[in-house]
Structure 1
């Protein structure tokens, strides 16, 4: 279907009606639900409307990337969907800066009145509010929110001030298990060790950091994280968020926070595999309670590929997640690597219905990636 861009929408060449982006996509018979990514300019450049949006954002970004980007527009909303990272027609959460496509949050049309994204709604009554956070308790591990009234907890005011509250015993056990694993090398083969790391900057709210053994431990932890970042940069093209200009890989490795949920990476741990103290393979992992863990980035140094390093790294990660009771591991795979993850590692394609059941969790996704999943054999 062809059309002409106007100030009010896209005028169809066949019927001369003007449509909004999602309506034009439906008019064209497409069910991709990503109109901005699939509407291409007829100027020979091959640019999509999403590409144009990113170019506009890049031209407006004049503040150095080291600045606090979240403060650029503290009262505004995001310009891309928090679920699929694409632009277009978005609905904005009335509680946080996140924005979404209608289809990405399972809606058929824009709702009337105030609307709250799934992660801003109570995990029990599924209702959100524009009032302050004193009405909510957020789980330290899965970050799901609950109305204090829905929980029917005593001494709610005292509990609301705690940063290490857990919504379930499983979340508390996972939190403790990850904490006990962090910084302790595990022998997984001849001269191979597997270690779980986390940035010192990400305190868990109870005074705990990932360097309990002093400055030397902190220095070693930060050194390995910087090497892990180098491995990621060796394997991936630089990826900067179009809205904030942040290096996404660096933000994940160092567990940086953000007011934008899709850029809040505080919960990420870094799994590394070393051979004779040489860091050769890296994976980033975030655990959303016992339901699901996401492994968003995996990389192996070019000089160590085809030696089973990624296999050793992922196998040990899966084993430890299963011990913690995590049911499923998911990852966003680039199309060229989907067959490897499916045929070589036992993953399968995640359906839209399966993805919709995880809307309350903010998952790191990339444009054009395919979400894959793998059930983990948890210990009874």
Structure 2
């Protein structure tokens, strides 16, 4: 049995950021992550600049590994009508391969302990968490759940969304394309889904799309779907015809849930996608994960230092602050999702919005937050 002051399940953006924040304060932190770094993940790989001041304060500088500054946004309809504008805050493009590795290295510098194992069960008893893997039992007073979009743990914790089949599938691959603009992130619609395009630190273009499984299952493989459905959008057809794939096979993740989730489950604070997933069209999931880690870390530090601040108040405050920070964004994302999945509405909407750049910027701002210091 191994004991730590704070255990974090999952070493993605939320888990790593929380580990860095807490270890910077001298806390005994351990992260349990399934796979050693670095590794690719299915992700849009665009990060809003809203979190950059906070990352810098933690000693994390994405520009040192070549993160690409992004200042322009582009969106197209299924028939290829394109609208573009400047991003209100801007952002940067960076692969999860590089970003997670950068955060991991910073966490190691600060003394965070890492265990590369899969968590099987968690339990809370006598004011203590017991976290079990196949080979080890860990205990701590504080636990953060940051294990991503979906896990066997969700079923073990009896989370409602895990009891039903989900209808979304995500596909990601990197491509070589010489003339793709460095400063551009694009969102492009096709029948049954939509995808994002942006540069990463390696010079590769990340193409990550979300599709309803009902649309995808009619085709034998990803290549066929790309050729017959994704390429119905002239913009995406041109991209796929001219770009060269870097991965041997695209990465996929199924059973993605956008249902509402509890931010505290069995006394565990949930961070990042584990607490709530914004529709990828908003391009803000990575920033939200980092922001949620900041909220959890600040409250946890208050909890471990102030005897009169009890666990009940910690959980109540985290739920309130999480809701305040993200509920409007999630609501707006769901509304945009409904529009983008309706061919007539999205075509009419984008063509109307295209006449007003201020309106497009206003819509983008609704899925983003203020600068996080």
Q: TM-score range by the shorter chain?
A: under 0.3
User: Which protein is richer in strand relative to its size?
Assistant: 2
Larger relative contact order (Cα-Cα within 8 Å, sequence gap ≥ 6): 2
TM-score, normalised by the number of residues in structure 1 = 0.25
TM-score, normalised by the number of residues in structure 2 = 0.26
User: Which protein is richer in helix relative to its size?
Assistant: 2
- For the pair shown, the structure with the greater C-alpha radius of gyration is 1
